[in-house]
């Protein structure tokens, strides 16, 4: 994996760090490839329950590396999009731990995550219009799904930033921290990792996919996905652990 992306495992949590602090973690092709590889690992290894995406040096990601853009480099992966993730997020939960700035493509990376923990001084925005560009890695399409449309429109057309307090009020982020956003993300990841991995994965899948289902098909489509969960070893183990007043021993099957 590229040195532009670092990984470590902490109690079943895969921590993925964009490691270009000298460039405010601006996204390059190599970094996108590193993130894509890390997401493959997250989904492939049974012992990994949750992922965290963060940035080194006090910044999450400032967007596309413009120097690379001028050289003709695209920080995208075919079929996976910007940063190796925006078009193909992992099946397992992914938390963004945001310090400093999540701007342009950096905000779009954050949008691709399922949950967000941010430092109180973090800033968010899609300033592409200020550079004659469009937030094409999901910003102008996905932002109106996550915050009110008129607020999203203002951010896209003005390129202005919002802070953590406003983002939290809008329901755009889950938690605001005084200390390390990564520590806050680890706390949230630990709560998720305590739960049944099959149930967590399928819950995420249904919440993501069901918005595109026709109303008269929703329960039938859900039944197809939850059926295997309810007859799994983990479902029996969860019930037994509750009855015996102990922590469950999940097997992921």
**pTM of the entire structure?**
0.92
pLDDT of residue 133: 87
Residue 121: is it exposed, middle or buried by C-beta count within 10 angstroms (0-12/13-18/19+)? middle
Same domain, residue pair 139 and 208: no
Same domain, residue pair 136 and 74: yes
> Among 52-56, 66-70, 97-101, which is the least confidently predicted range?
66-70
What are the residue numbers of the active site?
Answer: 108, 128
Q: Please list the alpha-helical segments (H only) found in the chain.
A: 29-44, 66-70, 105-112, 139-146, 149-158, 164-169, 181-193, 197-209, 218-230, 233-243
Same domain, residue pair 203 and 188: no
Same domain, residue pair 205 and 127: no
Same domain, residue pair 189 and 201: no
Q: Above 70 in pLDDT, residue 225?
A: yes
Same domain, residue pair 207 and 178: no
Bridge partners of residue 54, in order along the sequence: 17
Residue 253 in domain? no
Number of H helices, E strands in the chain: 10, 11
Reduced to 3 states (helix: H, G, I; strand: E, B; else coil), residue 118 is: strand
Contact 115, 96 (CB under 8 A): yes
Contact 115, 184 (CB under 8 A): no
Q: Above 90 in pLDDT, residue 74?
A: no
Question: Residue 52's closest CA among 90, 2, 79, 107?
Answer: 90
Same domain, residue pair 237 and 168: no
H or E element, residue 185: helix 181-193
pLDDT of residue 72: 77
Per-residue burial over 197-219, b if 16 or more Cβ lie within 10 Å, else e, is bbbbbbbbebeeeeeeeeeeeee
Residue 175 in domain? yes
Task: Report CA 162 to chain centroid distance, whole Å.
Answer: 19
Q: Above 90 in pLDDT, residue 194?
A: yes
How many other CB atoms are found less than 10 A from the CB of residue 169?
Answer: 11
Q: Above 90 in pLDDT, residue 59?
A: yes
Residue 250 in domain? no
How many other CB atoms are found less than 10 A from the CB of residue 71?
Answer: 8
Residue 249 in domain? no
pLDDT in tens, 172-183: 999 999 999 999
Contact 4, 31 (CB under 8 A): yes
Average of per-residue pLDDT across 197-207: 95
Residue 217 in domain? yes
Same domain, residue pair 124 and 213: no
Mean pLDDT of the chain, nearest integer: 94
Q: Above 60 in pLDDT, residue 1?
A: no
Question: Residue 19's closest CA among 11, 28, 10?
Answer: 28
Residue 170 in domain? yes
Handedness of CA 172, 177, 182, 188 (dihedral sign): negative
pLDDT of residue 57: 95
Same domain, residue pair 86 and 116: yes
Q: Above 80 in pLDDT, residue 237?
A: yes
Query: pLDDT confidence of 2, banded at 50, 70, 90?
Result: low
Same domain, residue pair 205 and 105: no
Same domain, residue pair 127 and 221: no
Residue 252 in domain? no
CATH code (residue 54): 3.90.226.10
Same domain, residue pair 179 and 209: no
Supply the range of the domain harboring residue 46.
Answer: 5-193
Average of per-residue pLDDT across 182-208: 95
CA distance 6 to 54: 10
With tokens 């037994």, the residue in question is 240
Taking phi first (over 0 means left), then psi (-120 to 50 degrees means alpha), and beta for anything else, what does residue 132 get?
Answer: left
Q: Domains in the chain: how many in total?
A: 2
């Amino acid at each position: 994996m590229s040195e532009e992306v670092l990984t470590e495992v902490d109690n079943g949590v895969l921590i993925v760090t964009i490691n270009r602090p000298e460039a405010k973690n601006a996204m390059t092709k190599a970094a996108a490839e590193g993130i894509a590889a890390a997401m493959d690992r997250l989904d492939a290894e049974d012992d990994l329950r949750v992922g965290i995406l963060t940035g080194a040096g006090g910044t999450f990601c400032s967007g596309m590396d413009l120097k690379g853009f001028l050289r003709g480099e695209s920080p995208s992966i075919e079929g996976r999009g910007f940063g190796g993730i925006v078009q193909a997020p992992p099946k397992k939960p992914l938390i963004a731990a945001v310090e400093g700035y999540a701007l342009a493509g950096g905000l779009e990376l954050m949008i691709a995550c399922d949950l967000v923990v941010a430092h109180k001084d973090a800033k968010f925005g899609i300033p592409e219009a200020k550079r004659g560009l469009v937030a094409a890695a999901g910003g102008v399409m996905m932002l109106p799904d996550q915050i009110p449309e008129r607020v999203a429109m203002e951010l896209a057309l003005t390129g202005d930033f919002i802070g953590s307090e406003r983002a939290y009020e809008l329901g755009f982020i889950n938690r605001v921290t005084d200390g390390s956003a990564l520590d806050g993300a680890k706390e949230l990841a630990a709560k998720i990792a305590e739960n049944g991995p099959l149930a967590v994965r399928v819950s995420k899948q249904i919440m993501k996919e069901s918005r595109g289902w026709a109303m008269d098909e929703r329960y039938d489509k859900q039944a197809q996905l939850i059926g295997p969960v309810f007859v799994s070893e983990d479902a029996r183990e969860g019930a037994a652990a509750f009855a015996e007043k102990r922590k469950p021993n999940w097997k992921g099957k």
